[in-house]
Structure 1
Amino acid sequence: MIITIGTTTLDVELYDNHASRSLRKTLPQEIRMSSWGDEYYGELARRIDYDGDALRDVFDIGEVALWPSGNALCIFFGPTPASVNGEPRMASDGVALGKITGDVSVLKKLKGSLSHVKIAARS
């Protein structure tokens, strides 16, 4: 999967789970994202099914996840307001979708809300 934010392109290696397969079927999408600490999140245009996938609240830097409560795509690049020891932590449980394969530090340079975030399948 490819996420494009302005001139920044992030390559995401999707995990083999139900939610990732469900997300792939909805691509391409364009969403708006907001920041919550070192996390960007934005509501997806179409509902993502995550039936049977493991839920957790702690993620790795560079992981991309689904926050089911808001049908939101989340990109973690550092601690969030819910973090305990500096780890990326969701406000409530989510499903890991994949991991960014490149340098996520470029996300620290972005500020505030992001409009026109494009999410597409890898060609």
Structure 2
Amino acid sequence: MQIRISWPAGQLTATLEETPTSTALAGALPIVSTARTWGEEVYFDTPVSPALEAGARQVVEPGTVAFWTEGDALALPYGPTPISRGDECRLASPCNVLGRIDGDAQALATVRAGDTIRVDRVGGA
């Protein structure tokens, strides 16, 4: 499944794997939320509350689409966070990994805390 994430200064798409969390997220689309930032990570509240899945990870690659179950939030890291060691993307706690951003995740650097952020499904799939 492909999703579009848009905010006032830009947009990008991401491809999600089939997981219980991505299925729950798809059922809630479209989502409109308020962006928050934490180092080089954008995250925002969603109306879904999935459980932590097997394979959840705290350290991920830049551009990973993750779901922070402790905050019911989509987490989009594109670089180091305040708790990273070196250049890694270390999330606040283990998160469900849903997929990857298509293209350059550095576009997320234009998201400002407080921006309206919208997530839609791309196409009919």
TM-score of the alignment, normalized to the shorter chain, above 0.5: yes
Q: TM-score, normalised by structure 1?
A: 0.90
Aligned residue pairs, count: 121
Aligned amino acid, residue 98 of structure 1: G
> Are the counterparts in 2 of residues 18 and 51 from structure 1 also a CA contact under 8 Å?
no
Distance 1:100 1:89, change over 3 A: same
Counterpart-to-counterpart distance in 2, 1:79 and 1:32: 21
TM-score (norm 2): 0.88
Write the letter of the residue equivalent to 2:117: V
- For residues 52 and 76 of structure 1, the distance between their equivalents in structure 2, rounded to whole angstroms, comes to 19
Partner deviation per Cα, 1:32-88 (whole Å, 9 max, x = no partner): 0111000011111x1232464421101111111110000011111100011113111
Asked whether the equivalents of residues 23 and 48 of structure 1 are also in contact (C-alpha less than 8 Å), the reply is no
Alignment of 1:1-123 (within 5 A): 1-44=3-46, 46-50=47-51, 52-110=53-111, 112-123=112-123
The question of whether the paired residues in 2 share the 8 Å contact of 1:80 and 1:89 is answered with: yes
Q: Which amino acid aligns with 1:75?
A: L
Per-residue displacement from partner, 1:81-115 (whole Å, max 9, x unpaired)?
A: 111131111111111111111112222244x4142
Distance 1:113 1:13 in 2: 24
Q: For residues 91 and 13 of structure 1, do their structure 2 counterparts lie closer, same or farther at Cα, with a shift above 3 Å needed?
A: same
Q: Verify the 8 A CA contact 1:41 1:75 in the aligned structure 2.
A: yes
The answer (yes or no) to whether the contact 2:68–2:75 under 8 Å persists in 1 is yes
Identity %: 29
- Please list every run of 5 or more consecutive structure 2 residues that lacks an aligned counterpart in the other structure: none
> For the residues of structure 1 that align with 2:12 and 2:51, how far apart are their CA atoms?
23
Say if 1:51 and 1:79 are closer, same or farther in 2 by CA, change over 3 A: closer
Q: Which runs of 4+ in 1 moved over 4 A?
A: none
